[in-house]
Structure 1
Amino acid sequence: MNDLPMAPAESLDPADWTEVAELSHRIIDDAIAHSRDVRKRPPWQEMPEQVRQGFDGPLPRTPLPLADVYEEVVHSVMAYPMGNVHPRFWAWFMGSGNFTGALADFLAAVQGSNLGGGSHAAVLLENQVIAWCNEIVGFPATANGTLVSGGSMANLMGLAVARNIKAGVDVRTLGVAAIARPLRFYSSDQVHDCHRKALEALGLGNCSLRRIPTDCDFRINIAALRSAIAEDRAAGFQPACLIGNAGTVNTGAIDDLEALATLARQEDLWFHVDGCIGALLAIAPKNAHRVAGLQRADSVALDPHKWLHAPFDVGCVLVRAGTALQDSFATAPEYLESTQRGLASGRWLHESGLQTSRAFRALKVWMALKQHGIERFGRLIDRNIDQAQYLAGLISAHRQLEVAAPPPAAV
């Protein structure tokens, strides 16, 4: 038999690990300086046209030295950030990250684990982060959850579980066309637009989301909500889910979660709380009372990349009923069968969501919580709210300005 011709050895490993180590140390030093000196830079600056045109280049065909690639990053990327990590970034409610989380993302990428599941450390660590999040919102230890890209995906998954449980048919097998009566979901008119996108993606349509008027504090009007539910039942619709806001993106308004939880039980509705803005108030000593009733929800969406300051991206959906996520998303393909021992014996995290390939998002949350402790994060939230109230006082005292909404619980 003729031997096959041997191709030249080739890989993506560095040709010189020592050279890469030296550059890596420089990158870390630059990253520390970038974070340390953030206050010396403007939050945002216009990108010169010459720099902008550099992103129109053709597909690279041949290699460049890594040091040259890094120089491009320094001059064309690091110099023109969105600015949300800056303390004077006030454009939107957005997380500012933390350096420990950045190191965690580096370590997660180096380890390279796929969080679809299996028996390895990253899975156990994510399970612990989910358990901590359940503890934060007051859910029992039997509750479940999963980490996702952010609030939009977390809310979509919570609403998917609500749809499947309240449909009255096996939606996963038969589809939404088999639902006997059109489902109705209820929220205030201040609800985040991701809920519309979610219900459209779930095949229920924008009309299935009934937006209820709000009061002078931009909280859902309970009386109007009761009337809408009764009206829909009389018209032949199936009221299915009540979406409460724990902080709206427009004003930071928080619905009366206790009243909504009680109403949901009375009307046999799934109670989902969009807490991506304010659910983490639950850890703030002076302001936890603002989200009283959060622990009574059936599902909660929250964003560790906001008030836990994890680098983008990481969102979380929690579901009180321990098997509800698996009931909505789990499948059993042959190539992911569980085994009694070995790598495949661990918990399959993909069964709790849509993704089979999943990034190791949990490490940046875990490391920061370990380093700082939950009490420090709670104190920082209290300070944010004090700052918002101080700003509202300055505006109220100004002759040419007025406060358009009550001082928000989230800033």
Structure 2
Amino acid sequence: MERVPELLEEETLDPADWASLKELGHRMLDDMFDYYQSSRQRPAWKKPSKYALNSMEHPLPQFPQEATEVYEHFFTQILPYNTENGHPRFWSWVQGGGTPLGMLADMLAAGMNANVSIGDHMPMYVEKQVIEWSKEMMGFPKTASGLLVSGASLANITALVVARNHFNKSIRKKGLQAVPAQMIVYGSAETHNCVVKGVEVIGIGSDNFRKVPVDDQYRIRVDLLRQMIREDREAGHLPFCIVGNAGTVNTGAIDPLEELAAIAQQENLWFHIDGAFGAVPKILPEFDDRLKGLELADSLSFDFHKWLYVNYEVACVLIRDAAIHREAFATAVTYLVQHERGLSGGPDPFSNYGMELSRGFKALKVWMSLKEHGIRRYQYMIRKNLRQAQYLAGLVQEEHNLELLAEVPLNIVCFRFNPGGLDDSALNIINKEILMRLQEQGIAAPSYTLLNGKYAIRAAITNHRSRLEDFDILIAQTMRIGKELIA
């Protein structure tokens, strides 16, 4: 029978011409280094062109294309329309800008193509090392456990699952019907939406997440928290978890963590802290008092790709009691039994500590980044961002046409253009337009929020490339656009 070339058993997906691929690979590296190096020369954001969008409407490819053609499509129609969170004037949401070595680490990790879930291979030990460093950074005991995940959303869900299962050992087999009363979670009204989604995902239901009002500094009202717990117990419900915020997404407010830890202990509740970005200043000695209580949490989530500037995506969840953590996820199946020796030996599988059995080598970029810069350099960069936030707040307060809408406890500055004589409804429209024009004109990319019904231009400063001059530009251009709008 005649053999068709594309059906040969010896065929692989490796290139027939390795030399050409090497040449293309070197070009890719050069292009991406140039991309990082020229970040300040590009607009802070650029809307994808119609041509680029149309290029994503092609049918499923049926036949091979040259790798150079595929790369040209990327280089001309994808790369120029990136989020640009590596730009010095990108301050949207809370996104770090990544680093060149982090990019290379991801390339190396993809080349190794390791599944970091089970087995006796070095990527498992690299992740264990990163978790040990994470515990040291956050003041957790060496006996604690941890896991690297995609982001704080999954980190928070993981912690909530551990908390939920700890309070009723039957849940894993029988589900929530094994619980004799409605389980209740508490957090401030400023708690990130991913926590509420997590409460929904684990079957508790968002109606059973108690949003505790906040004070004028956007911190949880401890007196009202106590009252809610008491009322829920009297109603026959089962309070089981308090979520504290180490840096709220709106303003960077830090809840009174030590008080929350004491309440959790008194009430026999799990104490989880969402520290997505605001836990990171724990590495600064001057933040010991403001983040006091962080080390008392039963669980903590934080992102490396936010205020530690690591390339997307990687976050960490730490659990104080490793046995409770393992008990929430471990399963005994024949095809995952750990052996005494061989490839199936090695450390306790990470699949015993989370949902994922297929896990990429995201630990490598954290490991390489921490070694490249050292904790002292990270301390410097975080202090720099903190100073920049105060500088920006000062610029706002110096302008009589600008209004600071919240205190600046960390790295988030919320302000608006307010020339006077306009109500909040009109100001909301104007400031939304200012924000969109700042972005569309490629000047800067802050984001937005609503504070007490007031539309705020929100700068979340987790950018290691920002300089003071960038904030001068933001204020000058905000004033220019604002004046144009009311002219």
- Cα deviation, residue 5, structure 1: 10
The Cα of 1:306 is off from its aligned counterpart by: 0.8
Residue 16 of structure 2 corresponds to which residue in structure 1? 15
Q: CA deviation at 1:134?
A: 0.8
What do the CA deviations read for 1:270-291 (whole angstroms, capped 9, x no partner)? 0000000211111124434321
Partner residue of 2:404? Answer: 403
Root-mean-square deviation (CA, aligned residues, Å) is: 1.6
Residue 174 of structure 2 is matched in structure 1 by: 174
Return the letter of the residue paired with 1:180: P
Partner of 1:66: 67
State the secondary structure of the residue aligned to 2:326.
Answer: helix
1:285–1:378 CA contact under 8 A, matched in 2: no
Question: How far apart are the structure 1 equivalents of 2:317 and 2:207?
Answer: 24
Query: 3-state SS of the aligned residue for 2:97?
Result: coil
How far off its partner does 1:292 sit?
A: 1.4
Q: SS of 1:290's equivalent?
A: coil
SS in 2 for 1:79: helix
- CA distance in 2: counterparts of 1:324 and 1:356, whole angstroms: 19
Distance 1:312 1:5, change over 3 A: closer
Aligned partner of 1:137 in structure 2 is: 138
Q: Secondary structure at the match of 1:136?
A: helix
Residues 278-319 of structure 1: CA distance to partner in whole angstroms, max 9, x if unpaired? 111111244343211100000000000111111111111100
Superposed, which structure 2 residues align to 1:51-90 within 5 Å? 51-90=52-91
Alpha-carbon distance between aligned partners in 1 of 2:32 and 2:92, rounded to the nearest angstrom:
24
The within-5 A match list for 1:300-315 is 300-315=300-315
| Paired amino acid for 2:131 | I
| Corresponding residue number in structure 1 for 2:273 | 273
- Secondary structure at the residue paired with 1:317? strand
> Separation in 1 of the partners of 2:385 and 2:152?
21
Residue pair 2:187, 2:244 contacting (<8 A) in 1 also = yes
TM-score of the aligned structures, taking structure 1 as reference length:
0.97
5 Å-filtered alignment, 1:215-294, equals 215-294=215-294
Q: What is the CA-CA distance between 1:80 and the residue it aligns to?
A: 0.7
The one-letter code matched in structure 1 to 2:143 is T
Any stretches of 5+ residues in structure 1 without a counterpart? none
3-state SS of 1:302 partner: strand
Cα deviation per residue 1:235-254 (whole Å; 9 max; x = unaligned)? 11111011000001111111
Distance 1:108 1:240 in 2: 39
Give the number of aligned pairs: 409
Q: Distance in 1 between matches of 2:53 and 2:285?
A: 46
Cα separation, 2, equivalents of 1:202 and 1:363? 30
- The percent of aligned pairs where both chains have the same amino acid is 44
1:70-91 deviation line (CA, Å, top 9, x unaligned)? 1111001111101111110122
The match for 1:323 is 323
Structure 1 position 118 matched with structure 2 position 84: no
* 1:249 alignment partner, SS class: coil
Q: How far apart in 1 are the matches of 2:286 and 2:264?
A: 28
Single out whichever of 244-253 and 400-409 deviates more from structure 2. 400-409
Tell me, in whole angstroms, the C-alpha distance in 1 between the residues paired with 2:285 and 2:231. Answer: 41
Q: Find the counterpart in structure 1 of residue 373 from structure 2.
A: 372
Instruction: In structure 2, list runs of 5 or more residues that go unmatched.
Output: 412-459, 461-487
| 8 Å Cα contact 2:52-2:78 kept in structure 1 | no
| Cα separation, 2, equivalents of 1:108 and 1:131 | 20
TM norm structure 2: 0.82
Q: Which residue of 2 aligns with 1:386?
A: 387
- Is the partner of 2:90 in helix, strand or coil? coil
Moved over 4 A (4+): 4-7
Match of 2:320, as an amino acid? R
- Aligned pairs for 1:180-199 (under 5 A) are 180-199=180-199
- The residue that corresponds to 2:478 in the other structure is none
Matched AA of 1:188: S
In the alignment, residue 12 of structure 1 is paired with which amino acid?
L
SS in 2 for 1:373: helix
List per-residue Cα deviations over 1:125-177 (Å, max 9, x = no partner): 0000011111111011110010111010000010111111123x411011101
Counterpart residue identity of residue 202, structure 2: L
Counterpart-to-counterpart distance in 1, 2:284 and 2:367: 19
Q: Say if 1:304 and 1:316, in contact at 8 Å, map to a contact too.
A: yes
Query: Per the alignment, in what secondary structure is the counterpart of residue 366 of structure 1?
Result: helix
Q: Relative to 1, partners in 2 of residues 1:56 and 1:5: Cα closer, same or farther, differing over 3 Å? A: closer
* Equivalent position SS for 1:357: coil
**What amino acid maps onto 2:391 in structure 1?**
Y
Structure 1 residue 396: Cα displacement: 1.6
Could you tell me whether the CA contact under 8 Å between 2:218 and 2:253 is conserved in 1?
yes
| Counterpart secondary structure, 1:376 | helix
Deviations 1:306-356 (A, max 9, x none): 111111111111000012221111112111111110110112111110000
Q: Which amino acid aligns with 2:98?
A: G
